């Protein structure tokens, strides 16, 4: 179903037909990803048609994001989400969890552990999945929250810095001095969700400390762009370049959209204290919009370049689905706080581009990347790897909140 036209005399999110379309888009995404669940309780990566790809590893972020996404879908009222939530929670405890050394391994296959690396990035997603599963009523959610929170305390949380360390071997030996924004940003996401779920103040406090570093100290020094990579003593490492998807060189505008929205979420949960958090959030988001949007005629243009140099120059011009998804969520958050005319313009532009170039209207799901002509491509990704970003774009667009998304989704259908 294509994006409906909304008259210019009303905001798009207030239009009943648009809201109906958003609900239908969530349902289509969920239906597309249901076949990820295999008969043995594992999850498969799906090709463009939704057919499971054979021989793929099950990575920790895939398992956790499916749990989280289907828990949100359940809150939005979609039926039959429990099989995916329950299978994912079981797989986390019985397959990803390392019974020998503790912690959660990065990937497994039919034979056992494929990559035993213990990443902060993966562990905070375990916390996110567990917290979301608790909201969905899963009976083992508290057990998983307690286990992964203790691991984060013991191995990843640097109390002096107020930030997360990144990586260890399977038996918890440090093998690098790398520090990164990505794990810390998703740590904020997980901690805020855990705070919403459990009420434990430590999660809110730690999220604030991470935000203070990146949005209070780093962003103003770098023109409200966010360097991705750091040394052991948290100095910017401008020359670092690792995994091209998870650790690209420079700055990643999509992360500015996410962090801006998370800053507003923290501010709301903290009781909306007197602070410049809303202004910083808007500055981060609007800087990324201005830096990274590809101008010109669609679909050969539009969307966002993947990475920038620290001065804002384009580094990697590839275009992926997830920065567009995160920009939509960021614009919804700005509108929910204090809407400006440009927010409506961007919200319309982003959904129009997603509808034209990214949403697979024939089969469901979103195409993950585009070539230079705006056609679906498969250089970086195999198939359609993820529901997490795109389903949140459609869910965040439905509510008027800055925090407590599941509760707002349930209230919207009451």
Q: Which residues are catalytic?
A: 255, 389
The angle formed by the CA atoms of residues 327, 329 and 333, to the nearest 5 degrees, is 115
Buried b (16+ CB within 10 A) or exposed e, 123-134: bbbbbbbbbbbb
- Residue 159 dihedral angles phi and psi, to the nearest 5°: -65, -40
Q: Can you list the positions of beta strands (E) in 36-143?
A: 58-59, 107-109, 112-115, 118-119
Q: What contacts 20, CB < 8 A, 6 or more positions away?
A: none
Beta bridge partners of 236: 230
Q: Report the distance separating Cα 308 and Cα 166, nearest Å.
A: 22
Q: Can you list the positions of beta strands (E) in 272-368?
A: 307-308, 314-316, 319-320
Contact 190, 124 (CB under 8 A): yes
Contact 369, 320 (CB under 8 A): yes
Sign of CA dihedral 305, 386, 130, 392: positive
Contact 225, 179 (CB under 8 A): no
Q: Report the distance separating Cα 130 and Cα 147, nearest Å.
A: 10
């Amino acid at each position: 179903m294509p994006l409906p036209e909304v008259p210019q005399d009303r905001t798009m999110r207030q239009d009943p037909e648009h809201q109906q379309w958003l609900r239908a888009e969530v349902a289509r995404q969920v239906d597309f990803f249901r076949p990820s669940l295999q008969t043995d309780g594992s999850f498969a990566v799906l090709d463009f048609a939704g057919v499971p790809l054979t021989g793929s590893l099950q990575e920790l972020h895939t398992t956790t994001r499916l749990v989280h996404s289907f828990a949100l879908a359940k809150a939005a009222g979609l039926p039959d989400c429990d099989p995916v939530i329950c299978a994912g929670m079981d797989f986390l405890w019985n397959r990803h969890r390392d019974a020998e050394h503790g912690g959660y391994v990065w990937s497994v296959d039919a034979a056992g552990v494929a990559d035993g690396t213990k990443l902060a990035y993966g562990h905070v997603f375990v916390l996110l999945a567990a917290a979301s599963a608790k909201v969905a009523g899963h009976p083992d959610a508290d057990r998983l929250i307690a286990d992964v929170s203790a691991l984060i305390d013991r191995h990843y949380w640097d109390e002096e810095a107020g930030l997360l360390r990144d990586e260890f071997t399977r038996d918890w030996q440090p093998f690098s001095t790398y520090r990164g924004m990505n794990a810390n940003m998703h740590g904020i996401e997980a901690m805020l969700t855990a705070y919403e779920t459990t009420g434990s103040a430590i999660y809110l406090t730690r999220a604030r400390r991470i935000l203070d570093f990146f949005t209070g100290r780093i962003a103003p020094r770098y023109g409200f762009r966010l360097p991705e990579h750091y040394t052991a003593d948290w100095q910017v490492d401008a020359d670092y370049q690792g995994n091209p998807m998870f650790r690209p060189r420079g700055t990643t505008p999509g992360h500015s959209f996410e962090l801006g929205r998370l800053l507003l979420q923290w501010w709301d949960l903290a009781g909306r204290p007197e602070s410049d958090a809303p202004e910083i959030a808007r500055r981060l988001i609007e800087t990324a919009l201005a830096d990274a949007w590809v101008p010109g005629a669609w679909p050969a243009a539009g969307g966002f370049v993947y990475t920038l140099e620290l001065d804002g120059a384009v580094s990697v011009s590839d275009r992926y689905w997830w920065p567009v998804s995160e920009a939509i969520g960021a614009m919804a958050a700005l509108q929910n706080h204090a809407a400006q005319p440009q927010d409506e313009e961007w919200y319309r532009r982003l959904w129009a581009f997603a509808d034209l170039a990214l949403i697979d209207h024939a089969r469901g799901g979103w195409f993950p990347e585009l070539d230079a002509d705006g056609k679906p491509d498969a250089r970086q990704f195999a198939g359609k790897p993820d529901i997490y970003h795109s389903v949140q774009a459609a869910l965040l667009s439905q509510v008027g909140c800055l925090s407590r998304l599941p509760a707002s989704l349930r209230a919207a259908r009451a």
